[in-house]
Amino acid sequence: MNTKQFLDQQFLGNTVGQYLLCGAILLVGFGLRRLLSRIVSGIFFRIIKRHTAGVSEKELNDFLIQPLSVVLFLFTLFLAFNVLDYPASFTHDLDRSEPWPKRLAFAVYQIGVISALAWVVLRLVDFAELVYRRRAELLTSTNTRLDAQFIPFAKDFAKVMILIFAFLVMLGQVFNVNVTALIGGLGIGGLAVAFAAKESLENLIASFTIFLDRPFQVGDLVTVGGITGTVEKVGFRSTRLRTAEKSYVTVPNKSMIDKPLDNLSLRTARRVNFTLNFGHETTREQLLGIAADLRIFLHEHPQILPEEVQIKLAALTQAGRDLSVQYFVQVATYDEYLTVKEAVNYRILEIVEAHEGVFATNTTVVRMVTDPGITSGTGQASDGSII
């Protein structure tokens, strides 16, 4: 038997040559899929390069090579199995011209292609989000923080729309469903679904309200519903807050709109209010000197509002003399606020030490009184009581 005769032998309606060609196409396609994906990704990057400042070709490859490899391998499968013939005995449906195994395989293939293409588009959305985020980091405009808030939301919205579109295409192309009639015939069923998803719809509408009204932005420190934290992300359904304890709190967008919200980042200044407790050893002249020097220091501090400085002798108590201090710090972040407050406290210590002031201490004085009518052991007090 020569080579030609061997290749012409038939099994299940196909020659050995057809099977070998099918296997060769599969091997070549599987082996070259990543290389071809890298080439396609590189060509695409060169086309959009002038719009991708701050993003490298490697980052695009990280997004696209894997889904493109799947798409190219599916294309290889189509080429490979298209060279095979299906036996006519497999055709059981007289209304169909194609054998049922081929129709089944093609349906599975269509589902795979639609899913893979949707995966590619989803990765492109991720890449677009990276490009705009890098661009926002490079810019110093006032819209940078708004972009940081809107970009993740737009990415999530685009992904949802892509998945819905891919699902509808799958219904129409693979299962021959009349998508237009399906959408138009939702009727009461659509209302039932909408009612069941009432909370989700309310949160979705609230997310649009947040973007339109802008009560806060990503990076703002807010208090809502007794929770204080920094806004890290605004999504479809919820807003993510990072608290001072570094915990990650998820708050429904509806709550962010319905409940009173205090945007602490929009405060023009932060108030500091405390009381200095001096002992009775501190004289009037010392108190006046301490108050005067502290007032001068606070008025001259560049980050403190001079017109809001209040230093008063607030009370005279049994423990001592209370000097109340209040001032407002003009800073953008909480860390800067703590830094200014620390500097003021150290300066207060210096002023008090310079004037030899004495802080009050919580002490209990016990006076022992000896009754001359009491003798050692059991005795009788002067009032007649037995001790």
Residue range 284-322, pLDDT digits in tens: 999 999 999 999 999 999 999 999 999 999 999 888 899
Taking each helix axis from N to C end, the angle separating 187-196 and 198-213, rounded to the nearest 10 degrees, works out to 70
Whole-number percent of the chain with pLDDT over 90: 43
Q: Which of 135, 153, 134 is nearest to 240 (CA)?
A: 153
Q: What is the greatest pairwise CA distance in the chain?
A: 139
- Rg of the chain's alpha carbons, rounded to an integer? 39
Do 136 and 148 form a contact (C-beta atoms < 8 A)?
Answer: yes
Q: What are phi and psi of 265, to 5 degrees?
A: -70, -20
Chain-wide mean pLDDT for the chain?
A: 83
Is the confidence at residue 67, as pLDDT, over 60? yes
- The tokens describing 360, both together, are 């009050």
Is the confidence at residue 376, as pLDDT, over 50? no
Do 209 and 252 form a contact (C-beta atoms < 8 A)?
Answer: no
Residue 145: its pLDDT value, please?
A: 59
Q: How sure is the predictor about 132, in pLDDT bands with cuts at 50, 70 and 90?
A: confident
Cβ count near 130 (within 10 Å): 19
Is the confidence at residue 26, as pLDDT, over 50? yes
CA distances (Å), origin 114, targets 171, 181, 244: 11, 21, 45
- The whole-angstrom separation of Cα 42 and Cα 49 is 10
Structure-model confidence comparison of residues 106 and 142, the more confident one:
106
- The whole-angstrom separation of Cα 188 and Cα 193 is 9
Is the confidence at residue 92, as pLDDT, over 70? no
Which range is least confidently modeled, 86-90, 167-171, 261-265? 86-90
Using CA atoms of 346, 352, 356, 360 in order, give the dihedral in degrees to the nearest 10. -100
Beta bridge partners of 386: 380
- The whole-angstrom separation of Cα 351 and Cα 345 is 10
Q: How big is the chain, counted in residues?
A: 387
Is the confidence at residue 387, as pLDDT, over 50? no
Q: What share of the chain is helix, strand, coil (3-state, %, to 5)?
A: 55, 15, 30
Which range is least confidently modeled, 28-32, 80-84, 188-192, 255-259? 188-192
Q: Is 326 helix (H, G, I), strand (E, B) or coil?
A: strand
- The tokens describing 34, both together, are 């990543």
- The whole-angstrom separation of Cα 225 and Cα 292 is 42
The rounded Cα 159 to chain-centroid distance in angstroms is 17
Is the confidence at residue 187, as pLDDT, over 70? no
- The tokens describing 230, both together, are 């920094």
Residue 150: its pLDDT value, please?
A: 77
- The whole-angstrom separation of Cα 61 and Cα 70 is 14
Residue 293: its pLDDT value, please?
A: 96
Q: Is 317 helix (H, G, I), strand (E, B) or coil?
A: coil
Residue 193: its pLDDT value, please?
A: 59
Q: How sure is the predictor about 283, in pLDDT bands with cuts at 50, 70 and 90?
A: very high
The rounded Cα 40 to chain-centroid distance in angstroms is 32
The answer to pTM > 0.75 is: no
Is the confidence at residue 9, as pLDDT, over 80? no
Residue 314: its pLDDT value, please?
A: 93
Is the confidence at residue 13, as pLDDT, over 60? yes
- Strand-strand pairing, 227-234 and 238-243: antiparallel
Q: How sure is the predictor about 377, in pLDDT bands with cuts at 50, 70 and 90?
A: very low
| Amino acid letter for position 362 | N
Tell me the average pLDDT across 33-50.
92
Give the pLDDT confidence of 323-333 residue by residue, as tens digits: 999 999 998 77
Which range is least confidently modeled, 69-73, 75-79, 102-106, 216-220? 102-106
Beta bridge partners of 329: 270, 304
Residue indicated by tokens 């294309």 = 75
Is the confidence at residue 225, as pLDDT, over 60? yes
List, in order of start, the domains of the chain with CATH numbers. Answer: 3-185 (no CATH), 201-266 (2.30.30.60), 270-354 (3.30.70.100)
Residue 155: its pLDDT value, please?
A: 87
